[in-house]
Structure 1
Amino acid sequence: MILFRNLTKTYRLQGTVKRVVNDVTLLLPSKTSIALLGRNGAGKSTLLRMIAGTTHPTKGEILSDGTISFPVGYAGSFHPDMSGAQNTRFVARIYGVDTESLMEYVRDFAELGSHFYLPIRSYSSGMRSRLSFGISMGLKFDTYLLDEITAVGDAAFKRKSEAVFQNRLKDCGAIYVTHSLGSVREMCTAGMVLEKGQLTYYDDVDEAIERHAWNSRH
């Protein structure tokens, strides 16, 4: 499970206060694939980074009784002067997994060829996303965080990524941010809608989609 307790996140931009979440208390169930929906700029990616622990709340806390991935597709934690291979080795040591096994998995899965051994700073955004996705899928988490899985490569790579991820969902949960409602219906059973600092959970993903669509029209 993941628990938001009195969670608040605010930013001050040019004298204006923006509230991403405002005093939210919410319990998310384990082993559930949850779509995170909201308008552009609502703060979905910020919330995802708070769940991952890479961004801190202004107030409140996020608690979990399981392991949570870094946002899949987000490569901001990688060292730009290290190669994809070196970053993979570093992540393996952090999570205490077999280095060579993870290296082999990521090298084959990410399809980066010789770029796997070149510095991250030479990668395109798509290549960084593929490396991030490969590392995440090579590690075992109780909950995966995904931000636009559809951005990780060409059509064939997207199909492969979605197939691997759906296989992971047999045993794990996920929080999934995407603008593709078709993907939401395929990959999620529940949903939550972020609107003006309020976060509402729905057991039925179709109800979440309907609420998101209503918010978008008003």
Structure 2
Amino acid sequence: MLRCIDICKDYHIPGKGPRRVLDRVNFQLERGQKLGVLGRNGAGKSTLIRILGGVDLATSGRVERTMSISWPLAFTGAFQGSLSGLDNLRFICRIYNLDYTNTRAFVDDFAELGKQLGEPVKTYSSGMRARLAFALSISINFDCYLIDEVVMVGDARFTQRCQDELFVQKKDRALVIVSHSMDFIRDVCDRGGVIHDRKLHLCGDVSEAINEYEALNR
């Protein structure tokens, strides 16, 4: 289970004081459920994903986790830039008690970075870092994956491989997806919600969430 209880998030704006981005967000996600959250750019979608993944902290409220939760897919902020891709991979394997040989083979095949895996991550392009982070994320069998469509980038072939891995090979896993693409949410999710005016409005089903989001954009 993944549960948010009264999550609030404020950012301090120099000269203007705190600005609230999320206000008393509550929801519960069970194993295998797929929640799609729609919202305009700047609504707080990425902030919510970062809080769920432990990358950012809520100002108040709490997140309860009784199943394993991924970091936001393709999040590159945890990489040590002076270390090679392989050294970062070794570190992740130690943390999650993964077999290094098998994980390296998967990441090498999926990320398709070749000899660059042996080079310092700080020399990578943003796309290369995202490929490595995505491959590392899905090499671990988390119970729930966090997806921000902002990071669903890359060439069409790589994007298709990512989607096949997440939505076919790992179709039994829970997902939290934040997006402003109604078609994407409709195709993938079985629950829906909309972030608007700093609050998460949960809907009965995905169609209801899409209708509410369309009404906001008229």
TM-score (normalised: structure 2): 0.93
Q: Distance in 2 between matches of 1:150 and 1:25?
A: 24
Q: Distance in 2 between matches of 1:149 and 1:195?
A: 18
Change in 2 beyond 3 A, CA 1:26/1:171: same
Change in 2 beyond 3 A, CA 1:31/1:209: same
Matched position secondary structure for 1:69: strand
Q: CA RMSD in A?
A: 1.6
Change in 2 beyond 3 A, CA 1:150/1:121: closer
Change in 2 beyond 3 A, CA 1:113/1:164: same
Q: Distance in 2 between matches of 1:20 and 1:95?
A: 32
Q: Distance in 2 between matches of 1:116 and 1:203?
A: 45
Partner of 1:151: 152
Partner of 1:209: 210
Partner of 2:163: 162
Q: Distance in 1 between matches of 2:137 and 2:59?
A: 27
Partner of 2:26: 25
Q: Distance in 1 between matches of 2:198 and 2:111?
A: 36
Task: Output the amino acid matched with 1:172.
Answer: R
Partner of 2:136: 135
In structure 1, runs of 5+ residues without a counterpart are: none
Partner of 1:10: 10
Change in 2 beyond 3 A, CA 1:21/1:168: farther
In structure 2, runs of 5+ residues without a counterpart are: none
Change in 2 beyond 3 A, CA 1:185/1:91: same
* Contact 1:84–1:119 (8 Å) recurs in 2: yes
TM-score (normalised: structure 1): 0.93
Identical residues among aligned pairs (%): 37
Task: Output the amino acid matched with 2:164.
Answer: A
Q: How many residues align?
A: 217
Measured against aligned partners, the alpha-carbon deviations of 1:33-75 in whole angstroms (never above 9, x if no partner) come to 1112111111111111110111111111000110000000211
Matched position secondary structure for 2:146: strand
Q: Which runs of 4+ in 1 moved over 6 A?
A: none
